[in-house]
Chain A
Amino acid sequence: MRSDPGDIAIAFEGVSKHYSLSLQKEATDVKSMLLHLPRFLSNARRPFVALDNVDLRVRRGESVGIIGPNGSGKSTTLRVMAGITPPTSGRVEVNGRVVGLLELGSGFHPRISGRENAILNAVLLGLTLDEARAVLPDIIAFSELGDFIDQPMRTYSSGMYFRLGFSVAVHVQPEILLIDEVLAVGDAHFQDKCMEHIHGLRRQGVTLVLVTHDMLSLPKFCDRGVLLEQGRITDEGTPQQVVHNYLARVEALLALRAEDQQRLKLAQAVGQ
Chain B
Amino acid sequence: MLRNRQARRAYDLLYLLTFRELKLRYQDTVLGFGWSLIRPLLQGAVLYVVLSKFIRIDVEDYGLVLLAGLFPWTWFQTSLTLAVGSFAANGALIKKVYFPRAVLPLATVLNNGVQYALSIPVLLVLLLVAGYRPDWTWLIGVPYLLLVEAALIMGIVLFIASLDVYFRDLEHLTDVFVGLIWFYLTPVIYPLSIVPDKYHDWVLLNPMASLIEGWRDLFLHNQVPGVDLWPALAFAAGAAAVGTLSFRSMQGGFADAL
Contacts and interface: CB of A to CB of B under 8 A. Distances in A.
Given A107-B93, A123-B16, A129-B15, A79 B99 contact: no
Contact of A100 (B94, B97, B256): B97
Contacts of A100: 96-98
B97 A102 contact: yes
Nearest to B258: A24
Interface in A91-128: 98, 100, 102-103, 106-107, 109, 111-112, 116, 119-120, 123-128
A112 B27 CA distance: 9
B91 to A, nearest CB: 12
A30 B97 CA distance: 29
A106 B96 contact: yes
A119 B12 CA distance: 11
Interface stretch (A62-70, A81-89, A218-226, A258-266): A81-89
Contacts of B97: 82, 84, 100, 102-103, 106-107, 124-125
Contacts of A126: 9
B17 interface: yes
Nearest to A86: B252
B16 A128 contact: no
Contact of B9 (A19, A112, A123): A123
A123 B168 contact: no
Interface string B6-17: 001100110111
Contacts of B16: 119-120, 123, 129
B41 interface: no
A192 to B, nearest CB: 26
B237 interface: no
A116 B167 CA distance: 34
27 contacts: A19-B256, A24-B257, A28-B167, A29-B167, A29-B169, A31-B169, A79-B95, A83-B98, A84-B97, A84-B98, A85-B255, A85-B256, A100-B98, A106-B92, A106-B93, A107-B97, A112-B27, A116-B20, A119-B16, A120-B13, A120-B16, A123-B13, A123-B16, A124-B93, A124-B97, A126-B9, A128-B8
Interface of B: 5, 8-9, 12-13, 15-17, 20, 23-24, 27-28, 92-99, 166-169, 252, 255-257
